[in-house]
């Protein structure tokens, strides 16, 4: 990811940082970038003022002494005041830069046409580093300025020391080995941090698991607290061990750098002392050298930290540039002919392989979803259903093949343009912690503030009962983490997600991935009624439902059966049952699970002691009938006990018929179990 940038990355980071500062606040940026280093050059004049004062005093030259005193005073006051202003200005600028990078990061993650980058571990690791360090973008400018100040201080000292003694001009240069040792150490640490990003991500996930409300129940139930703690510690050590080792590895060179600089400093002081003793130098010069040397030592003491800070800041910006460089693939620009108002959606030899995988998760598949059809997609876990949904939504780039809508190749249409015609309720839908109206209205931003549109969507998805139970109706704030927030049940959240998917008017494609997973049977039935059957307003809309619940599936116009990423069967529910293939097997197993328990024949009622009319023969010859008549529902002439999902109680019988090729003439209570048993 972005390896070509590696060589010029620090420079690119500096350019980006300065460019961003100038873009967000040009006046402040120029003030900070120019004023601060300038002040550090000017500050060196304090030493000159002191030199004049000392020489004036020693030589009984009042004018020189006063001149020196005035210079010292003016420079000191100016430098202090201007430095305070520069710091205030810089703080404001830092905030603005931080905000700007936040905005760019949000865009970078949320605006790419596809979501493939979230499956790339390299992207995820880099994004994690950037997320963790995102507060450093603003202070990166401060790091840059402080390092520039250091250079300015050294340049000022170099000029003045050269005036005192030519050889002393070399003194500031003796910092160079120390600076480069510090730089190397910071580079080693940054590399170790990058290598440990995966472990850091794991540590953060484990921390979230132990502290977030959602996993709290399982954490307690399975007594995971200790396990999570020890894994958290392991992840910490895995990340911090190499970091510490890198720091230690760089420390030897840093110590050698210090030794060299200290030796040079002592040599410099010896030179000027000898000049004073020889009478070739003045006492004022000795004071000047002493003062500048002290400053250099002060600057050098913070050198490691300053360079480390700059290095890290630039590395953070470079990581951001790696994210920017992450390949997005070729995406059409969205210009060209508009999409037809309705049409078939057709997959031609489409396949998709996740990054790092060798086998395609889907395909190659050929499939035609007719305009206006309701299509159910079924298959075992991992069969490729959600992958198909993501491809249909244009969220993943196709590996191979093409998808056409109304004959138009979607490769010529930007994913954003296509997605404007798509609406969806995903398996892992969002729980937007917002007022209900917005949590639903987000499904179609132009209607966000239109309560009528929101109410229509709620009614159309059978979710109006959720709002009816909330104190402030549409204005109810959702979210358990907010002080005035109301939490919902999983099913209620799902209903709102379904309502959100109803906001967009006249979509070309509706994608529902496990839309009823959290719903009770009544709500599921209502959803089907509202969502599928009353969709007449948009006759061209294709609705794709991924579901493991066959009561949902059987309603579809077309059923697509996926297995191991391939389509193994397509047809209507009835056709597929008749084919007695994979679908019929799955359906039969499902029906068996929902089948009513065989009803035990009741014991003949003991004859009442006082009875004069014998009732026993009726009970003995037809024991079950009265029980079912009282508690069950009649369907197709068959009796189903109350509380049993009638669809499956009946259809298990259908399967029994299909699988035995009509041999079973009657499908009463017994064959339901037999149908499953025959699979």
Ligand X SMILES: Nc1ncnc2c1ncn2[C@@H]1O[C@H](COP(=O)(O)OP(=O)(O)OP(=O)(O)O)[C@@H](O)[C@H]1O
State the binding string over 380-399 for ligand X (x if CB under 6 A, else -).
-xxxxxxx------------
Count of chain residues binding ligand X (CB under 6 A):
12
- If one asks whether residue 679 binds ligand X (CB under 6 A), the answer comes out as no
Among residue numbers 109 through 168, which ones bind ligand X (CB under 6 A)?
119
User: Taking the CA of residue 272 as centre, how many other CA atoms within 13 Å lie in the half-sphere pointing to its CB?
Assistant: 26
Single residue of 308, 379, 588, 596 touching ligand X by CB under 6 A: 379
Single residue of 103, 357, 533, 579 touching ligand X by CB under 6 A: 357
For the record, the structure tokens of 422 come out as 């798509």
C-beta of 196 vs 384, nearer to ligand X = 384
**Residues near 210 by Cβ (< 8 Å), separated by ≥ 6?**
219, 224, 225, 228, 229, 232
The H or E element spanning position 301 is helix 283-301
- If one asks whether residue 361 binds ligand X (CB under 6 A), the answer comes out as yes
Q: How many C-beta neighbours within 10 Å does residue 233 have?
A: 12
Which ranges of 510-563 does DSSP label H, i.e. alpha helix?
Answer: 521-527, 550-553
C-beta of 201 vs 444, nearer to ligand X = 201
C-beta of 361 vs 392, nearer to ligand X = 361
C-beta of 63 vs 381, nearer to ligand X = 381
Cα–Cα distance for residue pair 413/57, rounded to 1 Å? 84
State the binding string over 590-629 for ligand X (x if CB under 6 A, else -).
----------------------------------------
- If one asks whether residue 353 binds ligand X (CB under 6 A), the answer comes out as no
What is the smallest separation between the CB atom of 532 and ligand X, expressed in angstroms?
A: 21
The H or E element spanning position 66 is helix 62-110
What is the smallest separation between the CB atom of 384 and ligand X, expressed in angstroms?
A: 4
The H or E element spanning position 349 is strand 345-352
C-beta of 233 vs 357, nearer to ligand X = 357
C-beta of 318 vs 387, nearer to ligand X = 387
CA 348 to each of CA 328, 367, 411, 421, 457: distance values in angstroms, whole numbers, following the listed order = 23, 7, 12, 20, 34
The H or E element spanning position 245 is helix 225-278
What is the smallest separation between the CB atom of 352 and ligand X, expressed in angstroms?
A: 9
What is the smallest separation between the CB atom of 546 and ligand X, expressed in angstroms?
A: 7
What is the smallest separation between the CB atom of 366 and ligand X, expressed in angstroms?
A: 18
What is the smallest separation between the CB atom of 254 and ligand X, expressed in angstroms?
A: 43
C-beta of 379 vs 632, nearer to ligand X = 379
- If one asks whether residue 552 binds ligand X (CB under 6 A), the answer comes out as no
The H or E element spanning position 402 is strand 400-405
**Residues near 279 by Cβ (< 8 Å), separated by ≥ 6?**
none
Cα–Cα distance for residue pair 164/275, rounded to 1 Å? 10
Cα–Cα distance for residue pair 588/333, rounded to 1 Å? 48
22: left (phi over 0), alpha (psi -120 to 50) or beta: alpha
What is the smallest separation between the CB atom of 563 and ligand X, expressed in angstroms?
A: 9
What is the smallest separation between the CB atom of 124 and ligand X, expressed in angstroms?
A: 10
Which residues contribute to the site for ligand X (CB under 6 A)? 119, 354, 357, 361, 379, 381-387
């Amino acid at each position: 990811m972005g390896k070509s940038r590696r060589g010029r990355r620090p420079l690119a980071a500096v350019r980006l940082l300065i460019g961003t500062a100038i873009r967000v606040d040009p006046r402040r940026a120029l003030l900070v970038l120019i004023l601060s280093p300038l002040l550090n050059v000017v500050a060196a004049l304090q030493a000159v003022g002191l030199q004049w004062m000392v020489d004036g005093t020693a030589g009984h030259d009042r004018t020189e002494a006063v001149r020196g005193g005035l210079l010292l005073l003016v420079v000191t006051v100016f430098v202090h005041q201007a430095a305070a202003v520069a710091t205030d200005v810089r703080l404001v600028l830092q905030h603005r830069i931080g905000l700007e990078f936040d905005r760019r990061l949000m865009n970078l993650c949320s605006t790419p046409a596809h979501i493939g980058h979230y499956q790339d571990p390299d992207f995820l690791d880099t994004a994690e580093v950037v997320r963790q360090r995102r507060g450093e973008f603003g202070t990166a400018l401060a790091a840059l300025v402080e390092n520039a100040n250091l250079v300015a201080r050294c340049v000022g000292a170099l000029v003045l020391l050269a005036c005192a003694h030519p050889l002393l001009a070399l003194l500031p240069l003796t910092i160079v080995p120390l600076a480069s040792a510090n730089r190397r150490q910071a580079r080693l640490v940054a590399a170790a941090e990058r290598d440990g990003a995966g472990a850091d991500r794991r540590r953060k996930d484990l921390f979230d698991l132990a502290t977030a409300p959602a996993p709290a129940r399982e954490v307690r139930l399975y007594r995971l607290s200790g396990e999570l703690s020890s894994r958290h510690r392991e992840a910490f050590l895995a990340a911090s061990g190499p970091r510490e080792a890198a720091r230690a590895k760089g420390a030897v060179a840093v110590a050698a750098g210090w030794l060299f600089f200290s030796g040079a400093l002592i040599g410099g002081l010896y030179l000027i002392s000898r000049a004073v003793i020889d009478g070739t130098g003045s006492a004022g010069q000795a004071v000047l050298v002493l003062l500048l040397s002290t400053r250099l030592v002060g600057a050098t003491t913070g050198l490691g930290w300053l360079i480390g800070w700059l290095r890290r800041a630039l590395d953070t910006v470079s990581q951001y540039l790696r994210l920017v460089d992450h390949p997005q693939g070729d995406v059409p620009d969205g210009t060209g002919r508009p999409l037809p108002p309705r049409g078939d959606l057709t997959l031609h030899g489409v396949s998709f392989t996740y990054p790092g995988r060798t086998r395609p998760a889907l395909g190659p598949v050929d499939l035609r979803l007719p305009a206006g059809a309701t299509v159910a997609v079924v298959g075992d876990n991992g069969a490729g259903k959600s992958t198909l949904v993501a491809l249909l939504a244009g969220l993943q780039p196709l590996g191979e093949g093409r998808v056409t809508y109304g004959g138009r190749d979607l490769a010529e249409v930007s994913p954003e343009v296509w997605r404007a015609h798509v609406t969806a309720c995903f398996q892992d839908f969002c729980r937007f912690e917002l007022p209900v109206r917005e949590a639903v209205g987000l499904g179609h931003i132009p209607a966000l503030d239109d309560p009528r549109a929101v109410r229509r969507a709620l009614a159309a998805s059978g979710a109006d009962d959720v709002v009816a139970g909330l104190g402030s109706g549409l204005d109810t704030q959702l979210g358990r983490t907010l002080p005035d927030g109301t939490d919902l049940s999983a099913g209620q959240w799902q209903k709102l997600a379904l309502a959100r998917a109803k906001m967009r008017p006249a979509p070309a494609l509706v994608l529902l991935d496990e839309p009823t997973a959290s719903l009770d049977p009544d709500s599921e039935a209502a959803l089907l009624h509202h969502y599928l059957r009353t969709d007449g307003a948009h006759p061209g809309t294709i609705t794709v439902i991924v579901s493991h619940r066959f009561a949902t599936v059987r309603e579809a116009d077309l059923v697509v059966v996926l297995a191991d990423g391939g389509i193994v069967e397509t047809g209507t529910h009835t056709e597929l049952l008749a084919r007695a293939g994979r679908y019929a097997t799955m359906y039969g197993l499902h029906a068996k699970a929902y089948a009513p328990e065989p009803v035990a024949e009741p014991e003949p009622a003991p004859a009442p002691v006082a009875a004069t009319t014998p009732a026993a023969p009726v009970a003995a010859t037809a024991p079950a009938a009265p029980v079912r008549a009282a508690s069950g529902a009649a369907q197709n002439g068959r009796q189903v006990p109350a509380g049993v999902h009638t669809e499956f109680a009946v259809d298990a019988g259908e399967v029994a018929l299909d699988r035995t090729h009509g041999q079973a003439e009657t499908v009463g209570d017994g064959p339901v179990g037999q149908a499953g048993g025959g699979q």
